[in-house]
Amino acid sequence: MYVTIPSECTIEASIAPLASATPKTAEARLKSGAYLYFEGDEVEWLYQVTSGVLRLTRLLADGRRQVIAFGYPGDIVGFPANDLHHTDCEALTDVRLQPFRRSHLENGEGDPELHCALLQAALREISAMQDHFMMLGRKSATEKLASFLCVLSKRVGEDLGAYRQITLPMSRSDIADFLGLTTETVSRTFTQLRKSRIITIDNIHTIIIQRPTALLSLAEGDHD
Amino acid sequence: MYVTIPSECTIEASIAPLASATPKTAEARLKSGAYLYFEGDEVEWLYQVTSGVLRLTRLLADGRRQVIAFGYPGDIVGFPANDLHHTDCEALTDVRLQPFRRSHLENGEGDPELHCALLQAALREISAMQDHFMMLGRKSATEKLASFLCVLSKRVGEDLGAYRQITLPMSRSDIADFLGLTTETVSRTFTQLRKSRIITIDNIHTIIIQRPTALLSLAEGDHD
DNA sequence: CGCAAACTTGAATAGAGTCAACATCGGTGG
DNA sequence: CCACCGATGTTGACTCTATTCAAGTTTGCG
């Protein structure tokens, strides 16, 4: 999951489970805190998240970290480059996964439909990452966090009477490293959204969006 | 071309012309300043740059711009998402291009080797974009510009006696919008590199790298 | 319950942005 | 061929946003 431009209709196709004539490999499970793979590992499988949330990270030599993406249900993770994984991947919650052999992406291996679906997922990934560039390079802290909450609300928000509720399984520093901020700035920005009565923070991991329209216009850069 | 982590060995495979059993479509040419496609156009072709430089951009409603990538010789541009282009693409110099039908990427269409090469290019694109995230999200102005010059030096730098020379066909504001900075900051950072005798600026579009090692360590975050 | 990790808040700082003036470049037309 | 002019680039002064550093608070786990 990347932070895409909220105004444009999000491409939802990836959320559907990939159809396949091939008998499915047994579902994989991962406990919260377990790693699915590490940077440098050889890629054998791609995975579609069935339930739960993954976190993909890259590290710089000096310890600076970038969260590349969060893997939400429907997302496909593990695209190889030069046969290798280029991120670490950790489960933020218990996770269920549908594995697909890498060969299904790379040479079809007798199931053209699955091959095509995986390829389309990779192409959507490129487009979503382009949107995320805009977010990292050109948006303010408030716009970044508002955009992030908007995307999550749309993807995994639950209706709660008139409002919408989001569960955040990741820490503040995960959010910071995803949006290119510090934990302090993320925390302050949450407080600011709370004080302007746009959100309420039920507990650290549960956000209720009180004024979705206000949040959306913050995300799009309408000043305050 | 993205700004990747300098320490890691750059994946050079994409620079080779794509081999193909299929008779090649005639080379396309584009004059400097001409557009190859616009955001929202339907994708019919992908292109591998043969010579010259392209610039891929996305715009935000309020005019903020992100340069998504520069297309240097060997790079493949025009990956579709939902059948559409998601950036504008302009030629910064006269450009020569090898077109490939989109169908060669999407269903092979009788040339599995070409299909595979295009797919691998898309996968490398994802990995390179992940590196670029780190750059946009976590690096300082100096690190960004130093990294940018390192990558260009490696990809398209020319030996000039003991030094290396880079030609920059793009404007300062193109560089700024690529690195998530302002033109003023790009300009000031060039000046700073010049004053520390790491580079000389022969003319606005020609940079000579005097101390590549110093530039590399700036790129990697060694403080001054 | 106790403790470490995660989170929040505050004050001070630094790095990049903004605004404005000036310099340089490059193309056009006299 | 040179002078002019707009576009592009540089520099300076100032501002402001986000970071840093530090102190507290809350959370959740053993």
Q: Are residues A149 and A113 in the same domain?
A: no
User: Residue A5 domain-assigned?
Assistant: no
Q: Find which of A14, A64, A83, A119 to mutate to test the B interface (most B CBs within 10 Å of its CB).
A: A119
Q: Are residues A22 and A116 in the same domain?
A: yes
Contact residues, B window 10-39, toward A, CB-based 8 Å cutoff: 11, 13
User: Residue A4 domain-assigned?
Assistant: no
State percent of chain A over pLDDT 90: 78
Domain boundary among B135, B158, B178: B135
- Protein CA B141 to sugar C1' C15 (Å): 9
- Residues spanned by the domain of B190: 139-219
CB within 8 Å: B126 and A129:
yes
Contact residues, B window 57-76, toward A, CB-based 8 Å cutoff: 58, 60-62, 64-66, 68
User: Residue A146 domain-assigned?
Assistant: yes
Query: What residue ranges in chain A does DSSP mark as E strands?
Result: 28-30, 35-37, 45-51, 54-59, 65-71, 76-77, 88-91, 95-101, 158-160, 163-167, 199-203, 206-209
A109 interfaces chain B, CB cutoff of 8 Å: no
Q: Are residues A174 and A94 in the same domain?
A: no
Number of structural domains found in chain A: 2
A82 interfaces chain B, CB cutoff of 8 Å: yes
Q: What is the pLDDT of residues A138-164, one digit of tens each?
A: 999 999 999 999 999 999 999 988 899
Q: Are residues B93 and B159 in the same domain?
A: no
A:180-199 Cβ neighbours of strand C under 7 Å: 183-184, 186-188, 190-191
User: Residue B47 domain-assigned?
Assistant: yes
Q: What is the pLDDT of residues B162-204, one digit of tens each?
A: 899 999 999 999 999 999 999 999 999 999 999 999 999 989 9
- Distance (Å) of CA B66 to CA A128, B136, B172: 14, 11, 13
CB-facing half-sphere around the CA of A185: CA atoms within 13 A: 15
Q: How far is B187 from chain A (nearest CA, A)?
A: 18
Q: Are residues A120 and A79 in the same domain?
A: yes
User: Residue A17 domain-assigned?
Assistant: yes
Q: Are residues A124 and A34 in the same domain?
A: yes
- The DSSP code sequence of A36-78 is EE-TTPBP-EEEEEEES-EEEEEE-TTS-EEEEEEE-TT-EE-
pLDDT at res. B10 = 52
pLDDT at A197 over 80: yes
| Bases along strand D below 7 A from a protein CB | 8-13, 17-22, 27-28
pLDDT at res. B11 = 53
Task: Collect all residues of chain A within an 8 Å Cβ-Cβ radius of residue B136.
Answer: 133, 136-137, 180
pLDDT at res. A14 = 61
Task: Tell me which residue in A125, A138, A180 faces B66 most closely, judged by beta carbons.
Answer: A138
Q: Are residues B130 and B39 in the same domain?
A: yes
Q: Which residue is nearest to nucleotide D10 (CA to C1')?
A: B187
Tokens coding B81: 């998402």
User: Residue B6 domain-assigned?
Assistant: no
CB within 8 Å: B129 and A131:
no
Residue B213, judged by CB atoms within 10 A of its CB (0-12, 13-18, 19+), counts as exposed
pLDDT at A80 over 80: yes
Task: Tell me which residue in A66, A81, A123 faces B81 most closely, judged by beta carbons.
Answer: A123
pLDDT (average), residues A76-95: 96
Q: Residues of B47-61 as b/e, b for ≥16 C-beta within 10 angstroms?
A: bbbeebbbbbbbebe
Q: How far is B77 from chain A (nearest CA, A)?
A: 11
Q: What is the pLDDT of residues A86-113, one digit of tens each?
A: 999 999 999 999 999 999 988 877 788 8
pLDDT at A27 over 60: yes
Domain boundary among A70, A101, A135: A135
- Which phi and psi (to 5°) does residue A29 adopt? -125, 150
B76 pairs with which residues across the strands?
B48
B112 interfaces chain A, CB cutoff of 8 Å: yes
Q: What is the pLDDT of residues A178-196, one digit of tens each?
A: 999 999 999 999 999 999 9
| Bases along strand C below 7 A from a protein CB | 6-11, 15-20, 25-26
Q: Are residues A169 and A210 in the same domain?
A: yes
Q: Are residues B56 and B89 in the same domain?
A: yes
Cα(B207)–Cα(B157) distance, rounded to whole angstroms? 10
Tokens coding B123: 């996968």
pLDDT at A18 over 80: no
- Protein CA B204 to sugar C1' C25 (Å): 9
pLDDT at A9 over 60: no
Q: What is the CATH number of the domain that holds B46?
A: 2.60.120.10
Q: Are residues A131 and A143 in the same domain?
A: no
Strand B88-91 with A206-209, pairing: unpaired
Q: Are residues A126 and A163 in the same domain?
A: no
CB within 8 Å: B81 and A11:
yes
User: Residue A51 domain-assigned?
Assistant: yes
Domain boundary among B135, B161, B179: B135
Q: What is the CATH number of the domain that holds A166?
A: 1.10.10.10
B:127-156 Cβ neighbours of strand C under 7 Å: 140-142
CB within 8 Å: B87 and A130:
yes
Each residue's pLDDT, cut to its tens digit, for chain B (224 residues) gives 999 876 554 555 666 777 676 777 888 999 999 999 999 999 999 999 999 999 999 998 888 999 999 999 999 999 999 999 999 999 999 999 999 999 998 887 778 888 999 999 999 999 999 999 999 999 999 999 999 999 999 999 999 888 999 999 999 999 999 999 999 999 999 999 999 999 999 899 999 999 999 999 999 987 75
Q: Of the candidates B109, B10, B215, which has an alpha carbon nearest to the alpha carbon of residue A81?
A: B10
User: Residue B88 domain-assigned?
Assistant: yes
Cα(A132)–Cα(B136) distance, rounded to whole angstroms? 10
Q: How far is A10 from chain B (nearest CA, A)?
A: 11
B80 CB closer than 7 A to any strand C atom: no
pLDDT at res. A8 = 54
B56 in Cβ contact with B77 (< 8 Å): yes
- Protein CA A36 to sugar C1' D9 (Å): 49
pLDDT at res. A136 = 96
Between residues A11 and B58, the one the model is more confident about: B58
Task: Collect all residues of chain A within an 8 Å Cβ-Cβ radius of residue B118.
Answer: none
Task: Collect all residues of chain A within an 8 Å Cβ-Cβ radius of residue B133.
Answer: 58, 66, 68, 129, 132-133, 136
Q: Are residues B118 and B184 in the same domain?
A: no
- Distance (Å) of CA B181 to CA A1, A49, A145, B50, B172: 25, 35, 20, 29, 10
